[in-house]
Amino acid sequence: MNILDMIKNILFIVVLILLNSCGSGLRVSQSQLKPIENDFTKSFSNHSFKTSKSTVSSKTSPKLLELFGIPESEAELVSVLFRNDSLELGYTDKSVLKTVSFPVKQKSKGYLEILSVTKKIQIPPFLPFLYSNVDFNRLRIGITNNDELIIDHKWEKSGSVFIFMGGGGGRTQYFFSPLNDN
């Protein structure tokens, strides 16, 4: 085997490695989910008991309300209500009952989706080699057969100017346990 063949083989292996991507962690199959129907209501713990990244303790776990942009709440439970393409979260914070509402899309697979694309600038369109700026945030909400709430959070913040690129992104699934009162 000569040097040229070795270089071709190494390049082939490098290209194969670069074209493969990692999975998103824990996957929940369609058979483990039940569809969220209109007039769905249930209460859940505000702390996730596990994520697709790791198992977490209840003191350091991400909070359900934080995923919806409410970072400083001391609430222990969150009531989730879905009705007429609207998701309403109810919680008690410092003895005051608060509610927050979000427009959602119900997908054919039975989960709800909240999509927020605040910026997506690409020059020229479809092949942004001069300039691009992307700010993407998506929440998918599902219910397991055990009545656990799953929130799949995917985000991306990136940009480029000519050949210089930067940014980050990620995807994590959070699991919240139901309360027995519903």
Q: What is the pLDDT of residues 87-110, one digit of tens each?
A: 999 999 888 899 999 999 988 888
* 41 within a domain of the structure (yes/no): yes
Q: What integer pLDDT is reported at residue 101 of this predicted model?
A: 92
Residue 8 lies in a domain: no
Task: Summarize pLDDT for 29-69 with one digit per residue, the tens.
Answer: 777 788 888 889 999 998 888 887 665 555 566 788 999 98
Q: Report the alpha-carbon distance of residue 77 to residue 174 in Å, rounded.
A: 15
Given a cut of 90, is residue 11 above it in pLDDT? no
Domain span holding position 111: 28-178
Let me know the angle formed at the C-alpha of 94 by 90 and 100, rounded to the nearest 5 degrees. 25
Three-state SS for 33? strand
Residue 35 lies in a domain: yes
Residue 22 lies in a domain: no
Q: Is residue 153 part of a domain?
A: yes
Average pLDDT over residues 137-159: 89
Asked whether residue 4 is assigned to any structural domain, the reply reads: no
pLDDT of residue 165: 82
Residue 122 maps to a domain = yes
Question: How many structural domains comprise the chain?
Answer: 1
Mean pLDDT of the chain: 81
Alpha carbon separation from 5 to 2, 13, 17, 132, 176 (Å, rounded): 6, 12, 19, 39, 54
Give me the torsion for CA of 126, 163, 135, 66, rounded to 10°.
140
- Is residue 150 one of the residues assigned to a domain? yes
High-pLDDT (> 70) share of the chain, %: 83
Least confident of 9-13, 116-120, 145-149: 116-120
Residues 126, 122, 130: CA angle, nearest 5 degrees: 95
Query: CA-to-CA distance for 63 and 93, rounded, in angstroms?
Result: 14
Nearest to 65 by CA among 98, 112, 40: 98
